[in-house]
C-alpha cells in the first residue's frame, strides 16, 4: 500500500513537472532580429535589461540576424516565433506564399535613401547626372533605382551605377571614390558621417513609400501564441516610446551592455535612434500608439511594391497586417517606465 502510494505520488509529481515545463515553454519566445546590433534594436535590449518582458511572464530569447530577407525566411519556416525586419520584405514574402503577417510596425516610413557627401552639390535626383553611385543588387533599393533616378528627369544611362557587396559599400563611399551610396539611412548615415560628412535623399520623398522595421510571425504562431505575442509586441512598442521620450542614451547603453563583444559606439547608436525618430509616424498613424498600422499606408506600400515588380498581385491591406496585438494600456505603462 505504501509502495503504491509512493508510486502514485511520484506519478503526480512527474505530471506536475511536465505541465510546468510545457507551460514555461509556451511562454518562451524566440525572436530573430534584423541585423547586427544597431539603434533600432534598443527597445528589445532595454526591455530585457529592465525586466519588462519578465514582468509579463515572458522568457524572451533574442538572436541577432544577418538581413531582413534572411530573418523573414527563417521565421517563415517556423524556426523562430517572431521576427523583427523590414515589413516590406515580409510583404513580398507573403505575396509569394509565405504565411507571415505583421503584428507591429515601429518604423512606419521607408528607411531607404541615397546618402551623398555634403560636398557633392547633390540635393535632389535631378542633380545625379554623371555622378557615381553605389548599390547592392538583391537589396531592397535595387528595384526602385530607375524610379528614383527618373524623379530627377534622368535615366539610368545618365548615372554611373556600381554594384558592390553590402560589406564593401561603406569603404567605397567613405573613401570618396563614389558620390553616393544607396542603403538604409538610419543605419548607415551615422557611420558614414564620421569619416565623410553625409546627408540623405530619402526614397519616400519621391513617392516610394513602404513600411520599414516591425514585428511579424507566421499565422500558425499567431494562433498558437497570441497572448504572448500581444504582450511582447506591446512591451517593445512601449519601450520605443520610452526611449524616444528622452531616454535615448539609456536605450543605446542597453544595446552596448547586451552585446559588449560588438564594441559599439554609443554616439553612433544615439544618432541612429535620432534618425529613426523621424520615421516612426506617417500622416495615417499620427497620434496613434507606437506599433499601430493603417490601411492607407499598406495600400501605398503594396502599390509601390507592385510598381517595382516585387509582387505580382496584392491582396487587401488587411491580409498583411493586424493591429490586434498592440495592448494600448500596456504600451502606455511601459512608456511611463513600467509603472
Q: Which residue's C-alpha cell is 548607415?
A: 188
Cell numbers given for 174 = 567613405
Q: Which CATH number fits domain 26-108+210-335: 1.10.3720.10, 3.40.190.10, 3.40.50.150, 3.40.1010.20?
A: 3.40.190.10
pLDDT attached to residue 10: 46
CB 142 within 8 A of CB 164: no
Distance between CA atoms of residues 3 and 145, nearest Å: 77
Regions of the chain short of the pLDDT cut 50? 1-26
Q: What are the counts of helices (DSSP H) followed by strands (DSSP E) for the chain?
A: 14, 10
Closest listed residue to residue 193, CA positions, set 121, 113, 272, 135: 272
Closest listed residue to residue 48, CA positions, set 225, 253, 336: 253
pLDDT attached to residue 103: 98
Distance between CA atoms of residues 137 and 17, nearest Å: 52
Residue-wise pLDDT tens digits, 115-158: 999 999 999 999 999 999 999 998 899 999 999 999 999 999 99
pLDDT attached to residue 1: 43
26-108+210-335 and 112-206 in the same fold: yes
Cell numbers given for 203 = 526614397
Residue-wise pLDDT tens digits, 288-333: 999 999 999 999 999 999 999 999 999 999 999 999 999 999 999 9
The DSSP element (H or E) to which 117 belongs, if any, is strand 112-117
pTM exceeds 0.85 for this model? yes
pLDDT attached to residue 2: 44
Axis crossing angle, helix 266-277 with helix 185-193, rounded to the nearest 10: 140
pLDDT attached to residue 85: 97
pLDDT attached to residue 167: 83
Specify whether domain 112-206 bears CATH 3.40.50.10540: no
pLDDT attached to residue 17: 41
Report the share of the chain in percent with pLDDT over 70.
92
Mean of the per-residue pLDDT values of the chain:
92
Domain ranges of the chain: 26-108+210-335, 112-206
Q: Provide the 3-class DSSP secondary structure of residue 325.
A: coil
pLDDT attached to residue 13: 43
pLDDT attached to residue 339: 76
Amino acid at each position: 500500500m505504501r509502495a503504491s502510494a509512493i508510486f502514485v505520488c511520484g506519478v503526480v509529481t512527474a505530471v506536475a513537472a511536465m505541465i510546468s515545463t510545457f507551460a514555461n515553454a509556451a511562454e518562451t519566445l524566440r525572436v530573430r532580429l534584423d541585423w547586427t546590433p544597431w539603434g533600432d534594436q534598443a527597445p528589445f535590449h532595454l526591455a530585457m535589461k529592465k525586466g519588462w518582458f519578465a514582468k509579463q511572464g515572458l522568457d524572451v530569447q533574442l538572436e541577432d540576424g544577418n538581413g531582413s530577407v534572411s530573418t523573414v525566411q527563417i521565421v517563415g519556416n517556423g524556426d523562430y516565433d517572431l521576427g523583427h525586419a523590414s515589413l516590406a520584405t515580409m510583404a513580398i514574402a507573403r505575396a509569394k506564399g509565405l504565411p507571415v503577417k505583421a503584428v507591429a510596425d515601429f518604423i512606419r516610413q521607408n528607411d531607404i535613401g541615397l546618402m551623398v557627401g555634403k560636398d557633392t552639390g547633390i540635393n535632389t535626383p535631378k542633380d545625379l547626372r554623371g555622378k557615381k553611385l553605389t548599390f547592392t543588387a538583391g537589396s531592397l533599393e535595387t528595384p526602385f533605382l530607375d524610379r528614383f533616378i527618373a524623379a530627377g528627369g534622368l535615366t539610368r544611362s545618365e548615372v554611373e551605377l556600381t554594384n558592390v557587396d553590402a560589406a564593401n559599400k561603406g569603404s567605397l563611399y567613405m573613401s570618396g571614390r563614389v558620390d553616393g551610396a544607396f542603403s538604409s539611412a538610419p543605419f548607415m548615415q551615422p557611420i558614414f558621417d564620421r569619416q565623410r560628412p553625409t546627408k540623405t535623399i530619402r526614397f519616400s520623398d519621391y513617392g516610394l513609400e513602404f513600411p520599414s522595421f516591425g514585428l511579424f510571425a507566421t499565422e500558425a504562431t499567431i494562433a498558437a501564441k497570441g497572448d504572448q505575442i500581444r504582450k511582447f509586441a506591446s512591451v517593445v512598442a512601449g519601450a520605443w516610446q520610452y526611449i524616444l521620450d528622452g531616454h535615448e542614451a539609456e536605450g543605446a547603453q542597453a544595446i552596448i551592455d547586451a552585446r559588449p563583444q560588438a564594441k559599439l559606439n554609443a554616439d553612433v547608436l544615439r544618432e541612429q535612434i535620432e534618425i529613426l525618430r523621424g520615421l516612426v509616424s506617417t500622416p495615417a498613424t499620427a497620434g496613434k500608439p507606437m506599433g499601430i498600422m493603417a490601411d492607407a499606408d499598406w495600400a501605398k506600400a503594396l502599390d509601390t511594391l507592385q510598381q517595382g515588380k516585387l509582387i505580382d498581385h496584392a491582396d487587401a491591406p488587411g491580409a498583411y497586417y493586424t493591429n490586434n496585438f498592440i495592448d494600448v494600456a500596456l504600451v502606455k505603462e511601459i512608456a511611463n517606465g513600467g509603472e
